[in-house]
Amino acid sequence: MPASDEAASVTLDNSSGVRRVLVVTAHPDDVDFGAAGTVAKWAAAGAEVAYCVVTDGDAGGSDRSVTRSAMAEMRREEQRKAAAEVGVSELTFLGYPDGKLEPTIELRCDVSRVVRAWRPERLVCQSPERNWDRIGASHPDHLAAGEAAVCAAYPDARNPFAHPKLLEEGLEPHSVAELWLMASPRPNRAVDITETFGRKLAALSRHESQVAHEVDLEGRLRRMASAGAPLVGAPEGTLIELFQVVAMPSSGSS
């Protein structure tokens, strides 16, 4: 795609007033790599943001002397500290095994439970579509978590007849207005995170078990965030996070 056409397909987000956001990711640190600058921006503007982390990241890290249960505990605590850096205090860990995730009905139900409980206007998740230009962002767990989250947003969380036990738990159906997909091969929305980049870096730095070996984490993140600026014609030095935003059907649609 010519650069001018690609830029025309991505718009710089100027929305305001979002009140409740839910971010669903496969592992601790996924949200911080993909959306922490945006989350910090929304939270600073007054939005309430919650995280739902599907696995505890127990297959992460490179130190074989650390037991997998200890790694899971460590990564949960790292994610709590990272969330605090961007203004998030509400976290749910679903505890699925790292590296074995599938978009099962059980996972869809568990994510739907969180959606109905938190009742977000906007759901941020990983793209269920593989991105061949960013294969590292298309870990199989990411794809599975993304698929489950999309299915939870539509149709599961809004359908009173999906997962009947959720009604028994007192959780009424809820319709999400927008999906924001991270690492999509077809981004159409950009968020300027230049002013919140420092908080993104602070959040990622909390994941010591995963990034302590990086000799230039800030440089890596700046290069990633700088790549989006030309897509919206932003000045050099502007830092961007990219998403594919999908407007969801009205609550009466099926």
Residues composing the chain = 254
Using 50, 70 and 90 to split pLDDT, how confident is the model at 3?
A: very low
Write out pLDDT tens, residues 21-58.
Answer: 999 999 999 999 999 999 999 999 999 999 999 999 99
Say if residues 191 and 41 touch (Cβ distance below 8 Å). Answer: yes
pLDDT, tens digit, 9 for 90 and up, residues 146-187? 999 999 999 999 999 999 999 999 999 999 999 999 999 999
Single out the residue of 180, 149, 224 nearest to residue 39, CA to CA: 180
Query: At 251, is the pLDDT very low, low, confident or very high (cuts 50, 70, 90)?
Result: low
At 14, the pLDDT band (50, 70, 90 cuts) reads confident
CATH number assigned to the domain comprising residue 81: 3.40.50.10320
DSSP alpha helices (H): ranges in 45-196?
A: 68-85, 105-118, 140-151, 164-168
pLDDT at 65: 87
- β 20-25/122-126 pair status: parallel
What is the reported pLDDT for 126? 98
In eight-state DSSP terms, residue 152 is I
Which strand (E) or helix (H) includes residue 212?
none
Task: Give the DSSP H/E element, type plus range, for residue 244.
Answer: strand 240-247
Domain holding 50, by residue range, is 3-247
Q: What is the mean pLDDT of residues 212-225?
A: 94
> Is 236 a member of any domain?
yes
Determine if the peptide bond prior to 155 is cis (ω within 30°): yes
Class of residue 253 by CB neighbours under 10 A (exposed 0-12, middle 13-18, buried 19+): exposed
The per-residue pLDDT of the chain, averaged, comes to 93
Q: Does 26 reside within a domain?
A: yes
- The one-letter code for the residue type at 83 is A
What's the rounded Cα separation, in Å, for the pair 19 and 42?
Answer: 9
Res. 11: pLDDT tops 50: yes
- Identify the residue whose tokens are 């969380």: 157
| Residue 234 · residue 12 · CB < 8 Å | yes
Q: What is the dihedral of CA 139, 48, 224, 179, to 10 degrees?
A: 60
What region, left, alpha or beta, does residue 75 occupy, with left being phi > 0 and alpha being psi -120 to 50 degrees? alpha
Quick check: is 208 in a domain? yes
Q: Is residue 167 part of a domain?
A: yes
Q: Are 225 and 192 in contact (CB under 8 A)?
A: no
Walk across the sheet containing 189-192 and list its strands.
11-12, 189-192, 240-247, 178-182, 122-126, 20-25, 48-55, 90-96
Residue 126 is assigned to a structural domain of this protein:
yes
Neighbours of 6 (CB within 10 A): 12
pLDDT of residue 60: 86
Number of domains in the chain: 1
Q: What is the pLDDT of residues 59-109, one digit of tens each?
A: 987 788 899 999 999 999 999 999 999 999 999 999 999 999 999 999 999
**pLDDT at 103 (0 to 100):** 98
pLDDT value of residue 128: 97
Percent above pLDDT 90 for the chain? 85
Specify the residue for token string 């036990």: 165
Domain membership flag for residue 253: no
82, 204 Cβ separation under 8 angstroms: yes
Domain membership flag for residue 210: yes
**Which pLDDT band holds residue 127 (cuts at 50, 70, 90)?**
very high
Other CB atoms within 10 Å distance of the CB of residue 104: 13
